Amino acid sequence: MSAAAKIASFNRHGVLAIYRFELSRFKRTVWQSLVTPVITTSLYFVVFGAAIGSRMSEVGRRALRLLHRAGADHAVAVYRKPQQCLVRDLPAEVHRHYYEVLSAPVSALEIVLAYVGAAATKSVILGLVILATATLFVPMRIEHPLWMIAFLALTAATFSLFGFIIGIWAKGFEQLAVHPDAGHYPRLPFWAGPSIRSIYCRPRGAR
């Protein structure tokens, strides 16, 4: 099939139907999808601020809490992205009703585009909401806003694809927990990257 024929046969109605259905699911589960991460972020800043307080150090002339704001936004989004994609996949697999999608006149590319696109869209929305929440606690100034959107969108697409893979691979809820349990939580100690040293390492000259 030529490229022109492939474009002409692209089932945009099917893609849009799946995409809209997934976004409407986001609205139906607004407490789980949106409110919970906002509360978690708020608590993070309150607890972290109270625990570190005046001992908050400077890393590269930036207060550590400012560095963590970007990390918090990114980490919450990274964690939620695969979840949003695989939470859709798994019940379909467990209840064996994948045939609904597989029997529909949509190609593999269109399925991936619709599901991953919807998950990435939800994640970008969530990331921006988390960012707005964080600005209530720390001042914000974005040096490169376009690059910020680009990194957010690219990370959203990447981890939505990752969630799609886990959603297809997982046979039950135990395997579903592989990502958060084995992938996300052990990563938290390294979450802030090398800058985390400033919390755990003794300042130079201190005994």
Partner 1 sequence: MSLFNPIVYLVSGFRWSFYGTSDVGVAVSLAATLALFILCLAVVVWVFRTG
**Considering beta carbons, is residue 29 or 180 the nearer one to partner 1?**
180
Q: How far is the CB of 27 from partner 1 (least distance, A)?
A: 27
Task: Kindly tell me which residue out of 60, 105, 139, 203 binds partner 1, with binding defined by CB under 8 A.
Answer: 60
Binding mask 20-59 for partner 1 (x = CB under 8 A): ----------------------------------------
Stretch that binds partner 1, among 15-23, 30-38, 42-50, 194-202 (CB under 8 A): 194-202
> Cα angle at 159 between 7 and 135, to 5 degrees?
115
Residue 139 makes contact with partner 1 by CB under 8 A: no
Report the candidate in 39, 57, 52, 45 with the shortest Cα–Cα distance to residue 140.
45
Single residue of 190, 200, 202, 207 touching partner 1 by CB under 8 A: 190
Give me the count of residues in the chain: 207
Which of 207, 206, 73, 101 minimizes the C-alpha distance to 164?
A: 101
d(CA 99, CA 57): 55
Is 73 one of the binding residues for partner 1 (CB under 8 A)? yes
Q: Minimal CA–CA distance to 34: which of 120, 122, 105, 155? A: 122
Q: Among residues 132, 124, 120, 126, which one has the least CA distance to residue 69?
A: 132
With a CB cutoff of 8 Å and minimum separation 6, the contacts of 77 are: 123, 124, 126, 127, 130, 152, 155, 156, 159
Interaction residues for partner 1, span 148-167 (CB under 8 A): 148, 150-152, 154-155, 157-158, 161-162, 164-165
- Residues engaged in binding partner 1 (CB under 8 A): 60, 62, 66-67, 69-71, 73-75, 78, 108, 112, 141-145, 147-148, 150-152, 154-155, 157-158, 161-162, 164-165, 168, 187, 190-196
